[in-house]
Amino acid sequence: MPAEFTLGELAVRFGLTLRGEPSLKVHGIATLARAESGALSFLANSRYRRQLESTRATAVITNAEDEAHCPVAALIHPNPYLAYARIAALMHPEPSAAPGIHPSAVVAVAARVAASAGIGPLAVIEEGADIGERVSIGPGCIVQRGARIGADSVLVSRVNLYPGVSVGQRCILHAGAVVGADGFGFAPNAGTWVKVPQVGSVRIGDDVEVGANTTIDRGAIDDTVVEDGVKLDNQIQVAHNVFIGAHTAIAACTGISGSTVIGQRCMIGGMVGFAGHLTIADDVVVTGCSLVSASIKKAGSYSSGMPTVETRLWRRMVAHLRRLDG
């Protein structure tokens, strides 16, 4: 069950302005439309103001502009979504894994596992692996030889860390993530292909989150690098020798070709494709379904995806394009 807090406690803890009775208690999170008494909700987008005006929540997190439309108690913050994230984490804390090694896990004698770490059922920890304090290794995970995991990190389930991979502190790797598989490197030889050894590794910084079934390839020579605070969604492909700068966020199904450098604080939409050997500046936004085929040297927002139109209109547009060189 989520913990219960008074509005006064939340306002003091998170530096919020309270309009309403400080002794009112909330014990859960709900949407504006579905909230009942005892629930805390939030308004981060003014398009949902109509739902705010009819909400049955005990209190709503909102900004100063929308607060005037709030019929219940309000916790006021310039960034309601940020305040909501912090309060929700307080009310719904992640359960701590119990320390110890499950009887079905296989842990090499030469592996180092901190006494406070938890190793789940059917996990495999190979020789030379280093598992830090309070790390949680979920069911079916494989930590191959020489891989290292920093304190308070979580491998949810079926995560596979290849040899020599380094994961920082407070990271979360969701189910099915694979870190350190061989990059796609092959040399042509008279119509055939010769595999190029991938001798680099992967270095992941602190406070990184890697989504389910996302893959991060090891470097061909130097390491693939994911800096501190990067957030990767599900089913992303990060190729060999890619560098992702600190606090960049990348949405699902994006593919990043080899040796591309993405700057800090970038926001990449879903299904974006990056050609190889590009450099993307800091603070770049790329909207969903874009194809990035050249380097981006200045901060800003960039797009190339074609918005959806009615099929008949789309066919006419394609026909016009085909006649441009006629």
Three-state secondary-structure class, residue 12:
helix
Instruction: Name the β-bridge partners of 78.
Output: none
Return d(Cα 98, Cα 245) in angstroms, integer.
33
Amino acid at 279: T
Note whether 191 and 212 are within 8 A (CB): no
* DSSP states along 294-311: S-B-S-EEE--PPPP--H
Q: Whole-angstrom distance between the N-terminal and C-terminal Cα of the chain?
A: 68
Return d(Cα 196, Cα 160) in angstroms, integer.
22
Q: Distance between alpha carbon 304 and the CA centroid of its chain, in Å? A: 23
Q: Which residues contact 99 (CB under 8 A, 6 or more apart)?
A: 115, 116, 117, 118, 134
Return d(Cα 39, Cα 49) in angstroms, integer.
18
- Catalytic site includes residue 27: no
Cβ neighbours of 19 (radius 10 Å): 18
Q: What is the signed CA dihedral for 253, 259, 265, 267, rounded to 10 degrees?
A: -30
Active-site choice (69, 102, 240, 320): 240
Pairing state of beta strands 215-217 and 237-238?
parallel
Residue 18's nearest CA partner among 5, 28, 8, 33 is 8
Known catalytic residues are 240
